Amino acid sequence: MLSTKFAIPDVIFGRGAITHLAQCAKRVGAQRVFFVSDKGVEDAGWVGLVKGILRANGLECVYFNDVNSNPRDTQVQQGVEAYREGECDVVVAIGGGSPMDAAKGIATIVGNGGEIRDYEGANRIMRPLPPMIFIPSTAGSSSDISQFCIITDIKRRVKMSIISRSLVPGISIIDPQLLVTQDRSLILASGIDALAHAIESYVSRLASPFTELHARNAIRLIIDNLIPAAEDKDIQALEQLSIASTSAGMSFSNAGLGDLHALAHALGGVCDVLHGWVHPTLLPSVMRYNMPSCMAKMGDIGRLIALTDTASDREAAHMGIERLERLFGELNLNTKLRELVPEKSDLEQICATATYDACHLTNPRPASAEDLMSICEEAW
Amino acid sequence: MLSTKFAIPDVIFGRGAITHLAQCAKRVGAQRVFFVSDKGVEDAGWVGLVKGILRANGLECVYFNDVNSNPRDTQVQQGVEAYREGECDVVVAIGGGSPMDAAKGIATIVGNGGEIRDYEGANRIMRPLPPMIFIPSTAGSSSDISQFCIITDIKRRVKMSIISRSLVPGISIIDPQLLVTQDRSLILASGIDALAHAIESYVSRLASPFTELHARNAIRLIIDNLIPAAEDKDIQALEQLSIASTSAGMSFSNAGLGDLHALAHALGGVCDVLHGWVHPTLLPSVMRYNMPSCMAKMGDIGRLIALTDTASDREAAHMGIERLERLFGELNLNTKLRELVPEKSDLEQICATATYDACHLTNPRPASAEDLMSICEEAW
């Protein structure tokens, strides 16, 4: 076994956890909070709640909401200017992956200077960031847990993966009550993203006993709770998805991901699709491709997904993939890559770009651009 | 569900992980390391190895080894003087719970002044400690993971529980290769301590889904690996115990412990017994006492320990306790409290002291000094 690392933020978890925000902000020295969110979270009422909590506790706040899904380098730059102008000292973000990743990008430049593209790849952030406190409003991206930050480079049409220990926030406040304002579509896209994080990190080259424990926990909980959470907005099921997403985050943040995410990032740079909707089109094909390199682990995954106790890893692995395909069908999700990518001729560029993504490095089976092309052909 | 917290150090895990020490020390700004260990670890050769690593990387080092098992307030004070005299900036400790707890006590005073008894109880440390990097040489205490520090107050004859987020080291370097120099007795005492951490924290009043996951993982791994690790020094089994102890630490550090540890600390203040040897005498009786308040969880524990899938929680819980008693018997461990406590008349004082221990607060079933006395009577 190689040496592995396992690093996570301080996690405050539970219904009502958001009320601890001001205390946490003061603990890390806040006087003027830079607060990042987006219009969807505003409409759900959570931005007002956070502003109220900060105000009631004597904390000033500069609010920034110019963030769309798949946040852009230009938006990060605008945030940096707002942070500097506001003379802020701590970054708070509430939302899904987009506001949290935008906040990470802003904190990176505030602490290190330059432009966000200077930090693309792994371990390129050298100086400390201002303290970050994140509050997820979806159960999926786990940006509140992870050392990942994904920002779109508009000119190059590339979603950059930026990975650094410094990008793990100091504190993650996870309040499952926030999940009730999501619609069915967002619950599913987020939950399936968390499932993809768990599956890819479980078979990653950098997996450790601690990441594996959390990955298995996440897979089991998502399979049990995704449908009641999405179809009935069952609060117990949403809470379990929140635990699952957090476990998946603890896993992939430390173990890394694989070629599903490498492809999803490359694809997201070309077409502005919600990240979670890429997985139903590509996940089964990537799992089939990787199977020969990690049959025992694919067997574990299959047993968790298909609720089987068959002793054969190969049989369990196939049963798991087939069960996933049926699940995506029952949920009426698009499983055809051609519905996402405008022109089939874009695939070549997407596959070439994916081989440069940091997630490609931890995929369990080596893959050339041609191998990725064959995966995309199968999923087309 | 109440809001719960989950905070751990950065963990570097794996055979050979110790070689990352100098890099970690430099990352937290070390120039002059205050290095704590004890004579047992010196004899095993690990102190020399650490000194060599530090020296080879240009780090100066002040070495302190005046630590015995159940470290004392007077030793902490001597360490503080040595730290100040040496003008050190980072604390490194290698060993079992004793050197690591002594190092925590020293760091507390260096950062906060006063005497160590000023910080007895929960959340009484207000100012930052120097960075701490710990390397466990046993798989049991998990002081390298936890926010606990246990120091004996010599005058009062009390083992003080000091609990604070500030006592979680910045970095824990866990190298399972270090475990091979332990003898059978130390492997067992440490492994059973880790098992007790997992069991008590699983049923604690502050347990969360994340602590529960790690507690279950620890119980399962210890039951599978304790005998081959202790009897054959099987390196794979020792590595699994190392994972188990780390998981148990992540659990109890955040969920807290219970009356087994409250009693063990009170008892340890009166008689200088190796901490792990208290558990075989008291654990079954404490579990029986707690059962009515947490039957479902005691059922989970029973199923993990007795490897049964019976649906009845009560039946599984009893099977688990009986299996534990058989295990302690097969290992020829003392299970009679009277072998540890010199005079039966000491029990009254021990039980009274235990009700003031911080671990008493998270026991799942309320217990008066008289209730604790009945537990001790059963275990006598």
CB A133 within 8 A of CB A25: yes
Q: Does A39 touch chain B (CB under 8 A)?
A: no
Verify whether the Cβ–Cβ distance B13 to A4 is below 8 Å.
Answer: yes
Buried/exposed A99-112: b ≥16 CB within 10 Å, e otherwise: bbbbbbbbbbbbeb
- Most B-contacting residue of A4, A12, A210, A250 (CB-CB within 10 A), to test interface: A210
Instruction: Enter the ipTM.
Output: 0.93
A–B: how many Cβ contacts below 8 A?
Answer: 78
Q: Residues, chain B, total? A: 380
CB < 8 Å to A209, chain B: 13, 243
Q: How close does chain B come to A173, measured CA to CA in Å?
A: 9
Question: Closest partner residue to A2 among B1, B14, B210, by Cβ?
Answer: B14
CB < 8 Å to B15, chain A: 1, 3
- Most B-contacting residue of A11, A26, A224, A238 (CB-CB within 10 A), to test interface: A11
Question: Closest partner residue to A4 among B14, B19, B210, by Cβ?
Answer: B14
Q: Does B1 touch chain A (CB under 8 A)?
A: yes
User: What digits encode the pLDDT tens for the residues A69-91?
Assistant: 889 999 999 999 999 999 999 99
pLDDT of the residue at A342: 84
The strands making up A121-122's β-sheet, listed across from edge to edge, are: A121-122, A158-163, A148-153
Verify whether the Cβ–Cβ distance A10 to B10 is below 8 Å.
Answer: no
* Two tokens, residue B51: 């000194």
Closest-CA residue to A201 (of A184, A213, A183, A188): A213
User: What digits encode the pLDDT tens for the residues A109-163?
Assistant: 999 999 999 999 999 999 999 999 999 999 999 999 999 999 999 999 899 999 9
Give the angle subtended at the CA of B68 by the CAs of B228 and B354, to the nearest 5°.
85
Question: Closest partner residue to B5 among A6, A12, A19, by Cβ?
Answer: A12
Looking at this protein, which amino acid is placed at residue A256?
G
Residue A209: closest C-alpha in chain B: B243
Q: How close does chain B come to A201, measured CA to CA in Å?
A: 17
Q: Does B142 touch chain A (CB under 8 A)?
A: no
Residue B242: closest C-alpha in chain A: A209
Q: Does B213 touch chain A (CB under 8 A)?
A: yes
Gap between the Cα atoms of B336 and B16, Å rounded: 40
pLDDT of the residue at B1: 53
Backbone torsions φ then ψ of B195, nearest 5 degrees: -60, -40
User: What digits encode the pLDDT tens for the residues A327-366?
Assistant: 999 999 999 999 999 899 999 999 999 999 999 999 999 9
CB < 8 Å to B165, chain A: 10
Q: State the DSSP string of A88-125.
A: --EEEEEESHHHHHHHHHHHHHHHH-S-GGGG-EES--
Q: Does B239 touch chain A (CB under 8 A)?
A: yes
Q: How far is CA B201 from CA B207, B275, B280, in A?
A: 6, 17, 17
Verify whether the Cβ–Cβ distance B7 to A11 is below 8 Å.
Answer: yes
User: Can you list the domains of chain A with their CATH numbers?
Assistant: 10-177 (3.40.50.1970), 182-379 (1.20.1090.10)
How far is residue B232 CA from its own chain's centroid?
Answer: 24
One digit per residue, the tens of pLDDT, for chain B of length 380 reads: 578 999 999 999 999 999 999 999 999 999 999 999 999 999 999 999 999 999 999 999 999 999 988 899 999 999 999 999 999 999 999 999 999 999 999 999 999 999 999 999 999 999 999 999 999 999 999 999 999 999 999 999 899 999 999 999 999 999 999 999 999 999 999 999 999 999 999 999 999 999 999 999 999 999 999 999 999 999 999 999 999 999 999 999 999 999 999 999 999 988 888 999 999 999 999 999 999 999 999 999 999 999 999 999 999 999 999 999 999 999 999 999 999 998 999 999 999 999 999 999 999 999 999 999 999 999 99
| Residue A331: count of CB within 10 angstroms of its CB | 17
